[in-house]
Amino acid sequence: MRSSSFYASYQTQHQAKGKAKARLMPLRIAHRRSAAPKTKDRRTRATTTRREARREAAAGRCSSSGLPRSGSSTPMESSPTRSSSSSLSLPPSPSDRQGRLTTTQLEQLRVEQEVYGIYRLFHGVAPHTRSFISFHLREIGNCGAFWCSRFIDEKMDKNGGYGGGPGQMPHLATTYAAVNTLITLGSEMSLSSIHRENMLKFLLQMKDSSGAFRMHNGGEIDVRACYTAISVASILNVLDDELVTDLGNYILSCQTYEGGIAGEPGSEAHGGYTFCGLATMILINEVDKLDLPSLVGKLAKMKTYAELGLLILIMKVLEGGFRDKPGKQRDFYHSCYCLSGLSVSQYSWSKDDGEPPLTSAVLGPYTNLLEPVHPLYNVVLHKYYKSHEFFSTL
């Protein structure tokens, strides 16, 4: 009896609580529904506020870099010559779509915003002012070439040859780089700054009794030294019989059984030394001394064109420039030779200098096409022609 009465009392209380909870449930649901729009509104307002703050920050960065802000007025904008500036629209802010864009796309949007700011700066300028600014931009470029020529000229030793820095001994590698840089600048001042008589004296001093060259006074003797010496002598039009004596025989002794060319006799063949040796033999007109079939076979086994494209992608650093191999830092040296090799491969099927390469010779879009470079001297082709004409008349 006692247990049954207790159960009946518990059931009655439980049912009463259930009815009360059921009456309260619609009220709670209604409260949640009425509160939801408010929460959404607060989130929307917060998101909008953050988006506006980021947009203001981006505009502030443009202003700090000398570019006008998107919503501000500048003296140039009030120029009476400005006619259609109101039709310009600001590119979308990177923060507006940050959740849907990759890092590369975000960087592209930032660049577009900067370009837009520069465009707005020039768009509101009077025509005569634009000519004035363009003139000074050209002069800045000319000044850069002037000071570069002066800097290199200061590195030339009184006895010929260029050192790597002030007070450093002349070195064939830096001499080769300095001469190619001055030729790339291409101005008459740059070309006339090279003292060819002293340069010939320096090259003769680096000549060894074996027929090869040493990199500097007391330095190593190898095929790299031979190439840099002959390349400089040939492009400056000072190549003579004394420089060429026994040189072909030395390089021939560096060709291995595989067909490639080593840095010195008895060493292993190397791609870089193979280029240096082959280019040297072509420049001194003794390339027929080499075993060309085995050399070409060696090169053909090394890389295919598809592998070359993959190699270029691997060597490229996302921030720009190229490196020797994965894990290494990017540098100008490997950036130069990666791009030079890519340019040579792009134009390898062109029969004439002015003939554009086939689309199949350019990996990716045709906008990846580089300027043609001379395959022996490694300078831009039209700069070589200008220097050849200049030094041929001296």
Domain ranges of the chain: 303-394
Q: Could you tell me whether strands 330-331 and 322-323 are parallel, antiparallel, or unpaired per DSSP bridges?
A: antiparallel
The CA-based angle 259-265-266, given to 5 degrees, is 80
Report residue 43 as tokens. 């989130």
Per-residue model confidence as pLDDT tens for the chain (394 residues): 444 454 455 455 555 555 555 555 554 544 444 444 444 455 555 555 555 655 555 555 444 444 434 444 333 333 334 344 444 455 555 555 556 777 777 777 776 676 566 556 556 655 655 554 555 445 445 555 655 666 676 667 788 899 987 788 999 999 999 999 999 999 898 999 999 999 999 999 999 999 999 999 999 999 999 999 999 999 999 999 999 999 999 999 999 999 999 999 999 998 899 999 999 999 999 999 999 999 998 777 766 555 666 677 777 887 888 888 777 899 988 899 889 988 998 998 887 777 888 888 888 889 989 999 999 999 999 999 999 999 998 7
pLDDT of residue 122: 55
Burial class (CB in 10 A: 0-12, 13-18, 19+), 316: middle
Q: Are 233 and 221 in contact (CB under 8 A)?
A: no
The residue written with tokens 């070589």 in the block is: 384
Q: Could you tell me which residues come within 8 angstroms of residue 270 by beta carbon, excluding any fewer than 6 positions away?
A: 260, 261, 262, 263
pLDDT of residue 74: 38
Q: How far is residue 136's CA from residue 116's CA, in Å, rounded to a whole number?
A: 21
The residues that bridge with 156 in the sheet, in sequence order, are 162
Report the C-alpha dihedral over residues 376, 377, 378, 384, rounded to 10 degrees: -120
Residue 268 to residues 83, 243, 254, 275, 299, Cα–Cα distance (Å): 69, 26, 9, 14, 14
pLDDT of residue 72: 40
pLDDT of residue 65: 40
Task: Output the 3-class SS for the chain.
Answer: CHHHHHHHHHHHHHHHHHHHHHHHHHHHHHHHHHHHHHHHHHHHHHHHHHHHHHHHHHHHHHHHCCCCCCCCCCCCCCCCCCCCHHHCCCCCCHHHHCCCCCHHHHHHHHHHHHHHHHHHHHHCCCHHHHHHHHHHHHHHHHHHHHHHHHHHHHCECCCCCECCCCCCCCCHHHHHHHHHHHHHHCCHHHHHCCCHHHHHHHHHHCECCCCCEECCCCCCECHHHHHHHHHHHHHCCCCCHHHHCCHHHHHHHCECCCCCEECCCCCCECHHHHHHHHHHHHHCCCHHHCCHHHHHHHHHHHCCHHHHHHHHHHHECCCCCEECCCCCCEEHHHHHHHHHHHHHHHCCCCCCCCCCCCHHHCCCCHHHCCCCECCCCCCEHHHHHHHHHHHHCC
The residue written with tokens 């506006």 in the block is: 52
pLDDT of residue 56: 57
Confidence (pTM): 0.63
- Cβ of 362: how many Cβ atoms within 10 Å? 19
Closest CA to 299 of 273, 325, 322, 280: 273
